[in-house]
Structure 1
Amino acid sequence: MTLGQEGEDVAAQYLAANGLEILTRNFRTRSGEIDIIAKDKKTIVFVEVKTRTSVIFGYPAEFVTRSKQQKLLKAAVYYLHTCGADNAPARFDVLEVLPTPQGLAVTNHIINAFGR
């Protein structure tokens, strides 16, 4: 299992423990991949998980570039359209996963990280 996969597992457990329903993981389209799609009450949440071994080169969320945001947006629009949920409330969250003394853990949950 790669570091990224481990981080996504930790993130999915964190989201579920905080009341979100995991709808799917690793949703892939031609334009990009969404790590986790969850539901928070009536809101569909598209989650980008960034896992790093340290913050020496910056915090994980700093690596969600404008280009990556555009890919996520296109993939999210496709997901909503295929589910017939074009008008559903939605948001984009970023979860930073870093090592702690107990192992990998979500250290920062940025809600509506690049919403409009």
Structure 2
Amino acid sequence: MSRAKGNYAEDRACEFLLNNGFMVVERNFYSRFGEIDIIAIKDKVLHFVEVKSAIEYELAVQNITKSKLSKLIKTGDVYLKKNALNVDYMYDAIIVTPQKIWHLENITI
């Protein structure tokens, strides 16, 4: 996926989160392990969000691999340590298609 398409999907995901009561804390947080697309908070819970987009839901969700989740978790740990945070948190995915946006909370390996 091109960076422009990725940015568009992330913009739509941020808008979705904001419309659903989240506050976006940071976008595109990088560590040596990988990147977190969006970090948001709602009800005192920090959400590390991976954004995937495709023409169809199934195509996008298949790109959330075990390897990608592992990198997301390691990068989330870096973020928590770097910012000395001791808060509840979870790892989410937002799937963006031309027709709809899905928010998958608390995804695991």
Query: Normalised by the size of structure 2, how large is the TM-score?
Result: 0.91
1:70 corresponds to: 70
One-letter amino acid matched to 1:72 = L
| CA offset digits 1:8-46 (Å, max 9, x no partner) | 000000001100010000001110000000001211100
| CA distance in 2 between partners of 1:22 and 1:28 (Å) | 16
2:81 corresponds to: 81
Structure 2 residue ranges without an equivalent (≥5): none
| CA distance in 2 between partners of 1:41 and 1:55 (Å) | 31
Runs of 4+ in 1 over 4 A off after TM superposition: none
8 A contact 1:25–1:35 mirrored in 2: yes
Match of 1:110 among 82, 85, 104: 104
Bigger helix fraction: 2
| CA distance in 1 between partners of 2:42 and 2:24 (Å) | 9
Q: What percent of counterpart residues are identical?
A: 36
| CA offset digits 1:63-112 (Å, max 9, x no partner) | 11000001001100000011111x31110111110012xxxx41x11111
Larger Rg: 1
Structure 1 residue ranges without an equivalent (≥5): none
One-letter amino acid matched to 1:91 = M
8 A contact 1:45–1:92 mirrored in 2: yes
* TM-align CA RMSD: 1.6
Query: Normalised by the size of structure 1, how large is the TM-score?
Result: 0.86
